[in-house]
Chains A and B, each alone.
Chain A
Amino acid sequence: MANEKTAARKAGPKGNGKNDPLGTNTEIGRKLRQYYDELMADDVPDRFTELLKQLEQKESDRSGTERN
């Protein structure tokens, strides 16, 4: 428990201050980040790494031919 609290405090957003309407001292601000962090923690599906590899491959093939 103590660790969680320390972590929560350290994980404060940049520029969080008393005046930040979505800062760590606001319930909405905290929930919003919790919601988002959970989404961010999802593993990136393979389809995306595959896609980028393909795009890069295509690109290097093309620039190879364009360069005569």
Chain B
Amino acid sequence: MGDIAAFREGLLEAIPSLRAFAVSLVKSSDRADDLVQETLVKAWDKQKSFQPGTNLKAWLFTILRNEFYSQMRKRGREVQDSDGVMTARLAIHPNQDSSLDLDDFKRALATLPEDQREAIVLIGASGFSYEEAAEICDCAVGTIKSRVSRARSRLQEILGVSGETEYGPDGISAQVTNSSAVA
């Protein structure tokens, strides 16, 4: 009973990140939530195959991703909706600190092929290591690295930004700290 409750807690905690990953894959919140629901049910049925102490989040992401690709195969490949549903549904919060518009970013992200999109999201946002991402995507670490790198170059190209920025948060803070100007 205690184990089951702990497992349920673990699933509950993972839901926000599972939903975020699902939206990155399917681009529609409704379908994303269906995918998360399927994932939770599957995870529950397979809970005996989960080894306590290992990474539950990575295990759940693997299930979600497998579910996504098996649904894709069943439905046949859908027409890519580059700047439709997802972009329209997500709220826009303009960020004063940043020169690049988040909406443009979403649109650019949506144009990436699935394998590159999932790789850059897993590494750059979900907080997985290259090794974990490789396990989730059932491929070699080198494959993840090259997908991330291609995704990044593609986004930089579409959005017209370069790699490093001299005006990043650290740069700004350093300038502010070093300046002796007092208001």
User: Which A residues lie at the B interface, using CB under 8 A?
Assistant: 1-2, 4-6, 8-9, 12-14, 18, 21-22, 24-36, 38-42, 44-45, 47-49, 51-52, 55-56, 59-60
Asked if A52 and B11 sit within 8 Å, CB to CB, the answer is yes
Rounded to whole angstroms, the CA-CA distance of A30 and B95 in the bound complex is: 11
Inside 8 A of A5's CB, which chain B residues have their CB?
A: 97, 169, 172-173, 176
Q: Tell me, yes or no, whether B4 is within 8 Å of chain A by CB.
A: yes
Asked if B165 and A56 sit within 8 Å, CB to CB, the answer is no
Looking at chain B's contact residues, is the secondary structure mostly helix, strand, loop, or mixed?
Answer: helix
Shortest C-beta distance, A5 to chain B (Å), equals: 6
Shortest C-beta distance, A19 to chain B (Å), equals: 10
Asked if A29 and B16 sit within 8 Å, CB to CB, the answer is no
Quick one: which of A35, A41, A48, A59 contacts B125, CB cutoff 8 A? A35
Rounded to whole angstroms, the CA-CA distance of A27 and B105 in the bound complex is: 10
Asked if B97 and A8 sit within 8 Å, CB to CB, the answer is yes
Asked if A51 and B37 sit within 8 Å, CB to CB, the answer is yes
The range of chain B's interface size is 35 or more
For the complex of A and B, list the 3 residue pairs with the smallest distance between their C-beta atoms, beginning with the closest. A36-B125, A39-B20, A22-B124
Asked if A14 and B165 sit within 8 Å, CB to CB, the answer is no
Rounded to whole angstroms, the CA-CA distance of A1 and B127 in the bound complex is: 27
A-B contact count (CB 8 A): 134
Quick one: which of A6, A24, A42, A49 contacts B168, CB cutoff 8 A? A24
Q: Tell me, yes or no, whether B140 is within 8 Å of chain A by CB.
A: no
Quick one: which of A33, A39, A51 contacts B40, CB cutoff 8 A? A51
Shortest C-beta distance, A37 to chain B (Å), equals: 8
Q: Tell me, yes or no, whether B148 is within 8 Å of chain A by CB.
A: yes
Asked if A24 and B125 sit within 8 Å, CB to CB, the answer is no
Inside 8 A of A34's CB, which chain B residues have their CB?
A: 95, 98, 102, 105
Beyond A21-B163, A26-B164, A28-B155, whether A33 also contacts B16 by CB under 8 A is no
Asked if A35 and B105 sit within 8 Å, CB to CB, the answer is yes
- Residue ID in chain A nearest B43 by CB atoms: A55
Asked if A39 and B161 sit within 8 Å, CB to CB, the answer is no
Shortest C-beta distance, A13 to chain B (Å), equals: 7
Rounded to whole angstroms, the CA-CA distance of A14 and B91 in the bound complex is: 27
Beyond A31-B98, A36-B20, whether A52 also contacts B124 by CB under 8 A is no
Inside 8 A of B109's CB, which chain A residues have their CB?
A: 32, 35
